[in-house]
Amino acid sequence: MSGLKASYLHSLQRVYRRRVHDEVVTSELAKYLTELSSEIRRQIGILIDRDGTITHVIIGDARGIIIPPLDNYPLGRSPLRGLRLVHTHLKEEPLNQDDLTDLSLLRFDLIAAISVRDALPGNIYVAHLMPHGSDKEIEMLPSENFYAFKLNVKSFIHALEEEMERAITFDQKDRRERAILLGVSTRPRYEQEDSVEELKELARSSDVIVLDTIIQRPKEINPKYLMGEGKLKELIINAMSKGATLLIFDQDLSPSQTKAITEFTELKVIDRTQLILDIFARRAHSKDGKVQVELAQLNYRLPRLTGKGTAMSRLMGGIGGRGPGEMKLEVDRRRVREKINLLEKELKSLSAARLQRRHKRVQRGIPIISIIGYTNAGKSTLLNALTNSSVFVEDKMFATLDTSSRRLRFPREREVIITDTVGFIRNLPKDLMAAFRATLEELTDADLLLHIVDGSSPRFEQHIESVENILEELQLSNKPRLLVLNKADKLEKGEAERLAHRYNAVSISALDSSTFQHLLNAMEERVFLPWQTPEKESLAGAVK
Ligand SMILES: Nc1nc2c(ncn2[C@@H]2O[C@H](COP(=O)(O)OP(=O)(O)OP(=O)(O)O)[C@@H](O)[C@H]2O)c(=O)[nH]1
Ligand SMILES: [Mg+2]
């Protein structure tokens, strides 16, 4: 606005008082704008809502205008914004690339440029977005003399939106988030595809509808946006035309990357870590679990709290607005830090209680067998089957977040405690790892780790490797381990045995206890070593 005389500002201010009806813009208003534009030698733009109210008056320079943030006019779930942009062009020229990018990125109802001819309206140029799946993304109407141009905007936009809704395949009433998954990396393609496949599973576990997955392989990673700016814009425009509400990156985004990307779009932008945190947040039920997850979420968010504004509110909201506690937009760093301290204290006292329980268990001298493994491998199913219990089982990732212990009696009156725990995953977010360290510490008491693998997963070898890596990080790699290939029922006949032999494992189907014999023998053998005489055992038992 700098450099404009007060009288011009006043004239511009008066534009707000005008109203538009069914036409793109009234002739009087067009004339007013072209006159002003030609006097100040700058473009002028106005945004008009569906009721014909002028919501914004924007002064540009000779070549363009910059659209301000439209926070009060969110796109929400509608195909179009509900605002149209009408602006002047000082010369007789059609809509340019910037105009069209604004149209696509902001999803205006339509965009119009009116050229200034001798301070009066010359030609009008109009463009609008097309329904998803059309052969072009934008339709440009033939340019015409402003006074000859006729378009009933109201009925036109109504029909266009209807067509757009029809072109979208998902159920409009389904309120879940709709995501585009994005893998951007320079790693080998198969690794990238694998990782995105897993991201899909995670998204499914978080009740997100996956509209599409996109794999980008830039020659090098752009530190600001991961990919080139043009590519990113294209991607966002495409995501919006598909009706997405969320972008999920398979790569972890740094705070500044998230910020840079969200500046382009009002779609929610999250990364793999946030998705996992979100699943954990939904699934945490125990006090322990809740505190650990909330702590992890806050630790993740703290470095990302750089300012206010919509980017931040979107980030804070998480998926569907499930943030920790009631803390919303105006959270400042200090409050987050205080909350973190509080949670850490709480966690400490919880883990003191846990430590006591652990001591008791160890004192009793009953051997402990801990079931570990990749998420969804069948750990809880196995615990249930071995001990006739009913720990929650579901075909989603991270069904279990809390440790549960059960007793298992072998023949000859030998007894062990079996514990089930949270599943592992590759690249376990480090904030989660830190928060769950206390839970995972229970594993140090184990006499044997039963490492369960879903043998039917095409990625089971990577799963084994991820679990081994995490064990190493937890300094548990020297614990005795027994590898168990699960879901043998899903494999071809003989395949399970072959794999078991190759990996020095036992194969089972956790759904069928008649397959447990080998496993039970192997467990007993490992836990009750030959040198452990019955006297010693009963001694241990007497401590109870
Ligand atoms: N076909 C088949 N399905 C199995 C078998 N074992 C477990 N499942 C299924 O696999 C899914 C995951 O089982 P869970 O026991 O919840 O797996 P988990 O390892 O505890 O998973 P998280 O707690 O999420 O880490 C469930 O749908 C089970 O019914 C098996 O031997 N065969
Ligand atoms: Mg489980």
Q: In percent, how much of the chain has pLDDT > 90?
A: 52
Q: How far is the CA of 377 from the centre of ligand 1 (A)?
A: 5
How far is it, in rounded angstroms, from Cα 524 to Cα 522? 5
Residue 538 has what pLDDT?
39
Q: Are 74 and 48 in contact (CB under 8 A)?
A: no
The most confident of 73-77, 138-142, 201-205, 255-259, by mean pLDDT: 138-142
The answer on pLDDT for 380 being more than 90 is: yes
Residue of 506, 542, 508, 543 whose CA lies nearest to 526: 506
Confidence of residue 399 (pLDDT cuts 50, 70, 90): confident
Q: Are 122 and 145 in contact (CB under 8 A)?
A: yes
How far is it, in rounded angstroms, from Cα 207 to Cα 354? 32
Atom of ligand 1 nearest to the CA of 424: 25
Residue 311 has what pLDDT?
42
Which residue do the tokens 């585009």 mark? Answer: 180
Mean pLDDT for 62-91 is 90
Q: Are 316 and 301 in contact (CB under 8 A)?
A: yes
Residue 152 has what pLDDT?
95
How far is it, in rounded angstroms, from Cα 294 to Cα 271? 17
Mean pLDDT for 373-396 is 90
Mean pLDDT for 370-396 is 90
Q: Which ligand is nearest to the CA of 513?
A: 1
How far is it, in rounded angstroms, from Cα 179 to Cα 541? 55
Confidence of residue 481 (pLDDT cuts 50, 70, 90): very high
Q: Which ligand is nearest to the CA of 382?
A: 1
Quote the tokens at residue 257.
């990357």
Atom of ligand 1 nearest to the CA of 397: 24
Residue 510 has what pLDDT?
96
Give me the torsion for CA of 10, 16, 18, 24, rounded to 10°. 120
Q: How far is the CA of 529 from the centre of ligand 1 (A)?
A: 30
| Extended strands (E) in 146-219 | 178-184, 209-216
Q: How far is the CA of 285 from the centre of ligand 2 (A)?
A: 13
How far is it, in rounded angstroms, from Cα 518 to Cα 427? 32
How far is it, in rounded angstroms, from Cα 360 to Cα 358? 5
The answer on pLDDT for 316 being more than 60 is: no
Looking at 51-55, 128-132, 354-358, 530-534, which range is the least confident one? 530-534
How far is it, in rounded angstroms, from Cα 524 to Cα 416? 9
Residue 484 has what pLDDT?
97
Q: What is the pLDDT of residues 404-414, one digit of tens each?
A: 888 888 877 78
Give me the torsion for CA of 302, 306, 308, 309, rounded to 10°. -110
Residue 246 has what pLDDT?
93
Q: Are 264 and 231 in contact (CB under 8 A)?
A: no
Q: Which ligand is nearest to the CA of 451?
A: 1
Q: Are 365 and 416 in contact (CB under 8 A)?
A: no
Higher pLDDT pick, 435 / 232: 232
Q: Which ligand is nearest to the CA of 397?
A: 1
Mean of pLDDT over the chain:
86
Question: Which protein residues have their CB within 5 A of the ion that is ligand 2?
Answer: 379-380, 399-400
Q: What is the pLDDT of residues 121-150, one digit of tens each?
A: 999 999 999 998 899 999 999 999 999 999
Confidence of residue 2 (pLDDT cuts 50, 70, 90): low
Contacts of 351 (CB under 8 A, 6+ apart): 438, 441
How far is it, in rounded angstroms, from Cα 536 to Cα 506? 29
Atom of ligand 1 nearest to the CA of 400: 23
Mean pLDDT for 360-388 is 90
| DSSP count for the chain of H helices, then E strands | 17, 17
How far is it, in rounded angstroms, from Cα 189 to Cα 475? 32
Mean pLDDT for 477-493 is 94
Tell me phi and psi for residue 360, to 5 degrees. -55, -45
Confidence of residue 168 (pLDDT cuts 50, 70, 90): confident
The most confident of 69-73, 436-440, 464-468, by mean pLDDT: 464-468
Q: Are 102 and 85 in contact (CB under 8 A)?
A: yes
Q: Are 121 and 146 in contact (CB under 8 A)?
A: yes
How far is it, in rounded angstroms, from Cα 378 to Cα 395? 9
Residue 324 has what pLDDT?
42
The answer on pLDDT for 309 being more than 50 is: no
Residue 318 has what pLDDT?
45
3-class DSSP assignment, residue 155? helix
Q: What is the CA radius of gyration of the chain?
A: 31
Residue of 24, 39, 27, 21 whose CA lies nearest to 12: 39
Looking at 62-76, 98-112, 128-142, 466-480, which range is the least confident one? 62-76
Residues with CB under 6 A from ligand 1: 373, 375-381, 393-395, 397-400, 423, 486-487, 489-490, 509-511
Higher pLDDT pick, 221 / 302: 221
Q: Are 435 and 348 in contact (CB under 8 A)?
A: no
Mutate to test the pocket of ligand 1, among 205, 381, 464, 516 (most ligand atoms within 8 A of CB): 381
The answer on pLDDT for 333 being more than 80 is: no
